[in-house]
Structure formats: structure tokens, C-alpha cells
């Protein structure tokens, strides 16, 4: 192993590692021939309880959400509840997915240096599920030869789980997913047609909880429509960007975060919405909006391409197409409705961090052929135990579509709950429930 560091922190023993993987897996094979492509770094951390450093523990691979999300950096085991539970039984392998964190990070500045828009588009294709899973399989075969591992996939990590089960089922002893079963076969328009009604319902819940915020939101939107408000980083603050504050509505305590952000919005003697005169937005509010609407560099560029599977045809901004069919989400509608996890073309014009990706993303939106990431036949005969937490009220991943997919996956077991939202894994009850369920079915008998 290429161990970079090892150290103890409160409640954890940690090792930092890095290996090389091909940028393009098309002519390479995990565990074997590396092809002629340039290589990139795959960084991963290994964690366990301090008292179990020398124990022979089964491995649990964490599949981070996103896309483009960086792996957890826990403060203590209890700062992310699943980690505190998992280290009781496993040695954790927590990679930064390619292009994120310390795995050859991609940002706007580095992406601009790649070449022409067509070269950038081809480069970006190398950072999707088929490549991510091959990275992890190469890691397993070269660093843990012959050892199967358990996987835990959160959100987009559930997409990666089904890709892993499709391509390399022999690598997995069992799999857990939380809020992340994709529709298979996949259709992004169908996804967003289910997503917008849930966004609408979340807006209604927000305004019912904090009715005074409707006046605030509408006043802010009217002010932004004048077109001269600028964020601290120089980006224009438009109504569209303001609406994306609803992105977190499917997690807790997002309503409260937005409520208190709006509480600071207005300059004036007591911060109330001005009855007379022009609305002046405060600097703390603008700073807060910038921070709340800035994401990891690959998150938005890859967002709709998680639905690119095989010869499904061009995606062509599926989220924008569906938004256009819902006029109550227009910037001029009142009350103003916030949007969720949806990518829009204007983002790549207005946001300086995304502008370098614009031409490549536009080219990929017209792409007709993609690697196959889900093998329906293989999934139907799957024998790897799959235990999935399906959140009934999940704003991001439709309940009915998740259940439809799981009904066609062999050896799949769904735990349906309305006690959690999309980020339930970070609370105390989700991983223990899935783990106990697998234990009681005997699905971990060969490991523990």
C-alpha cells in the first residue's frame, strides 16, 4: 500500500493512502493492465477504532453521495453517526472519488487547462459511475487481493452500488444503501417530473412553518429582479440563484437555516421588510447566500449525467425542460418557489466557478452514447444481499421509483421509513437498523 500518513484522532485510528488509476478505463482492466491512458491519483482513508488497530476486521467501503462529493472528514466518530456505529464492526475504507478532495481534484481553473471544449467533454466523461467503480475495484484487487468487502452507499452512492453490483458482484459480500436507489432503466425526465411536485410540497411546508418569510422572500426577489445585486465574489445574485437556496429542503434543519438567513436580509433599524423606500440587502445576507449556493466543483457539471446510461439518447437539460412545464417556479411568480437538486443552463453563464465547464457540459447534453452503468439482467439475478433504507419523504430520490427498481433486483430488502429525510444516515438510527437487519438474516455470517 502507498501509505502517506497514519495517526490517531479522538476515537479513531486513521491511515491516508493514495494509488494511481487510469484516467480512462476503456482500454484498462481493474487489478491488471493499466492501459496507455494518463493516470490520476485515487486517495483513500482507512479508519478503525483505536483499540482495534491490529484486529483482523472485515472491510466496509463507503460510497459517497454527490456526484462530485468529497468523502467525510469526521471530527469524532459521533460527529457522523454511521461512522461511530460502523467502526464497532468494520475497518472503513473511505475514498475521495476521482476528481474530488485529494483524488486529483478538478476545479474550474484546472479544467480550463485541459484543451478544447470537445477534449474537455471527453475528459469529464471519465468521472462518472463506470470509472468510479473501476477505481474501487482496482483498489480492492491491488491492495486487498481476494478480500470481498461490504459497501455502504449514501445518495449517489446508491447509484454506484447498483453499478458495482452490475459490473463486479463477486467483489461484494453485502451492500447497504441509504436514500439512493436510481430508477432502472433510467430516464431523467421521468425523475424530474416526480421531483418538481415534491419541491412544491416542500415550499408549502416552509411557508406554513414560517409564514412571515413569504413577505421577505417576495421582497428579496423583487429587489433582485432589478439586476444590480452582486455577491461578494462578483457573481450576480439573480432570482434564479436565490431560488436554489431550496436545494437543502430535503435535509434537516434546512428550513431553519433559510429562515435565519432571511432574518438578516434587510438593512434598516430593526431589519424588517421596508414599507417605504428601496430594499437594501445586507452584507451578511449576501455572504450567506454565496456560501449556501456554492458547491464542490464537479457537483453541478456532473449532475444530470448520473442519468446517462447506454444508448439512451441526449439528456438536453431535462431538469430545465420540466421546469418550463411548471410556471409556478418562474422567477416572476409569487409567492416565489425555491428549487431543489436541479441543474439549469443559466448556472454556467452566471457563476464564475461553473463558467469553465459551460462548453463541455453543453456538448455532453447532446451526447447519444454512454457507457452502460446498470445491467438489468445481472441485477435481476443478483445474489449479493442488498439492504436499502428508502425514505418515504425523500425530496431528491423518488420513493415509488426506488421501490420499482428494488422489485427487480435479486436479494434486495427495503426498509421503508418516514422517520428520516435524505440525510438520515448522519443520524443515529439508520445504519444500526440496516446492519441488524442484515445480521438477523445471516447475510454477514461469513464476515463477523
At 341, the pLDDT band (50, 70, 90 cuts) reads: very high
Q: What is the dihedral of CA 72, 142, 13, 91, to 10 degrees?
A: 80
Beta partners for 177?
153, 388
Residue with cell 460502523: 86
Q: What is the mean pLDDT of the chain?
A: 96
| pLDDT score for 1 | 55
Report angle CA 184, 128, 152 to the nearest 5 degrees.
70
Instruction: Select from 294, 296, 289 the least CA-distant residue to 231.
Output: 289
| pLDDT score for 376 | 96
> What is the spatial distance between Cα 203 and Cα 206, in angstroms, rounded to a whole number?
5
What number is the average pLDDT over the span 97-104? 97
Show Cβ contacts of residue 197 under 8 Å, excluding neighbours closer than 6 positions.
none
At 312, the pLDDT band (50, 70, 90 cuts) reads: confident
Of the candidate ranges 299-303, 363-367, 426-430, the one whose mean pLDDT is the lowest: 426-430
Higher pLDDT, 311 or 423: 423
At 36, the pLDDT band (50, 70, 90 cuts) reads: confident
| pLDDT score for 382 | 98
Length of the chain: 448
Walk me through the domains of the chain, giving residue ranges and CATH numbers. 3-185+374-440 (3.40.50.1820), 188-365 (no CATH)
Cell of 302: 456532473
CA 63 to chain centre: 10
Q: Over 80: is that where the pLDDT of 114 sits?
A: yes
DSSP 261-317: HHHT-B-SSS-PPPSSS---B-HHHHHHHHHHT---TTHHHHGGGGG--SS-----S
Q: Write 325-331 long-range contacts (CB < 8 A, 24+).
A: 326/196, 326/200, 328/200, 329/196, 329/199, 329/200, 329/243, 331/221, 331/225, 331/238, 331/239, 331/240, 331/243
Residue with cell 437539460: 317
At 4, the pLDDT band (50, 70, 90 cuts) reads: very high
> What is the spatial distance between Cα 216 and Cα 245, in angstroms, rounded to a whole number?
14
* pTM of this structure: 0.96
> What is the spatial distance between Cα 17 and Cα 173, in angstroms, rounded to a whole number?
23
| pLDDT score for 46 | 98
Sign of the CA dihedral 390, 393, 397, 398?
positive
> What is the spatial distance between Cα 12 and Cα 49, in angstroms, rounded to a whole number?
5
At 448, the pLDDT band (50, 70, 90 cuts) reads: confident
Q: Over 60: is that where the pLDDT of 413 sits?
A: yes
User: What is the tens place of the pLDDT at every residue in 177-229?
Assistant: 999 999 998 899 999 999 999 999 999 999 999 999 999 999 999 999 999 99
Beta partners for 423?
none
The DSSP symbol for 103 reads S
| pLDDT score for 27 | 92
User: What is the tens place of the pLDDT at every residue in 64-90?
Assistant: 999 999 999 999 999 999 999 999 999
| pLDDT score for 186 | 87
| Helices 254-263 and 283-292, packing angle to 10 deg | 150
Percentage of the chain modeled with pLDDT above 90: 92
User: What is the tens place of the pLDDT at every residue in 253-295?
Assistant: 999 999 999 999 999 878 899 887 789 999 999 999 999 999 9
Amino acid at each position: 500500500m502507498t501509505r502517506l500518513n497514519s495517526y490517531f484522532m479522538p476515537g479513531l485510528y486513521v491511515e491516508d493512502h493514495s494509488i494511481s488509476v487510469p484516467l480512462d478505463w476503456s482500454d484498462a482492466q481493474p487489478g491488471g493492465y493499466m492501459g496507455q491512458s494518463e493516470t490520476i491519483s485515487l486517495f483513500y482513508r482507512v479508519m478503525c477504532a483505536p483499540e482495534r488497530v491490529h484486529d483482523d476486521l472485515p472491510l466496509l467501503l463507503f460510497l459517497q453521495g454527490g456526484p462530485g462529493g468529497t468523502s467525510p472528514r469526521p471530527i469524532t466518530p459521533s460527529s457522523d453517526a454511521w461512522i461511530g456505529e460502523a467502526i464497532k464492526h468494520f475497518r472503513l475504507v473511505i475514498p475521495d472519488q476521482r476528481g474530488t478532495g485529494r483524488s486529483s481534484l478538478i476545479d474550474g481553473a484546472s479544467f480550463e487547462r485541459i484543451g478544447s471544449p470537445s477534449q474537455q467533454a471527453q475528459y469529464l466523461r471519465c468521472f462518472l459511475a463506470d470509472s468510479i467503480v473501476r477505481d474501487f475495484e482496482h483498489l480492492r484487487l491491488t491492495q486487498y487481493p481476494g478480500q470481498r468487502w461490504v459497501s455502504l452507499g449514501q445518495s449517489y452512492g446508491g447509484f454506484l452500488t447498483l453499478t458495482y453490483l452490475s459490473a463486479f458482484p463477486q467483489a461484494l459480500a453485502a451492500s447497504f444503501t441509504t436514500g439512493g436507489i436510481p430508477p432502472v432503466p433510467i430516464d431523467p425526465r421521468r425523475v424530474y417530473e416526480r421531483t418538481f411536485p415534491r419541491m412544491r410540497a416542500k415550499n408549502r411546508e416552509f411557508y406554513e412553518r414560517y409564514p412571515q418569510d413569504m413577505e421577505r422572500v417576495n421582497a428579496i426577489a423583487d429587489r433582485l429582479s432589478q439586476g444590480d445585486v452582486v455577491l461578494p465574489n462578483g457573481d450576480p445574485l439573480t432570482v434564479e440563484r436565490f431560488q436554489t437556496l431550496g436545494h437543502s429542503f430535503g435535509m434537516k434543519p434546512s428550513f431553519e437555516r433559510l429562515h435565519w438567513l432571511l432574518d438578516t436580509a434587510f438593512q434598516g433599524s430593526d431589519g424588517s421588510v421596508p414599507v417605504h423606500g428601496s430594499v437594501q440587502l445586507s452584507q451578511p445576507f449576501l455572504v450567506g447566500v454565496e456560501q449556501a449556493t456554492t458547491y464542490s466543483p464537479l457537483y453541478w457539471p456532473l449532475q444530470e449525467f448520473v442519468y446517462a446510461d447506454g444508448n439512451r439518447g441526449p439528456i438536453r437539460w431535462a431538469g430545465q425542460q420540466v421546469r418550463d412545464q411548471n410556471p409556478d417556479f418562474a422567477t416572476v411568480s409569487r409567492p416565489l418557489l425555491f428549487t431543489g437538486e436541479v441543474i439549469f443552463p443559466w448556472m454556467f453563464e452566471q457563476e464564475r466557478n461553473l463558467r469553465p465547464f459551460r462548453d463541455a457540459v453543453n456538448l455532453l447534453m447532446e451526447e447519444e452514447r454512454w457507457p452502460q452503468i446498470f445491467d438489468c439482467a445481472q441485477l435481476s439475478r443478483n445474489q449479493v444481499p442488498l439492504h436499502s433504507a428508502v425514505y418515504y419523504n425523500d425530496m431528491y430520490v423518488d420513493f415509488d421509483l426506488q421501490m420499482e427498481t428494488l422489485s427487480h433486483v435479486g436479494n434486495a430488502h427495503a426498509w421503508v421509513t418516514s422517520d428520516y429525510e435524505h440525510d438520515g444516515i448522519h443520524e443515529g438510527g439508520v445504519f444500526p437498523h440496516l446492519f441488524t437487519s442484515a445480521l438477523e438474516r445471516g447475510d454477514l455470517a461469513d464476515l463477523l
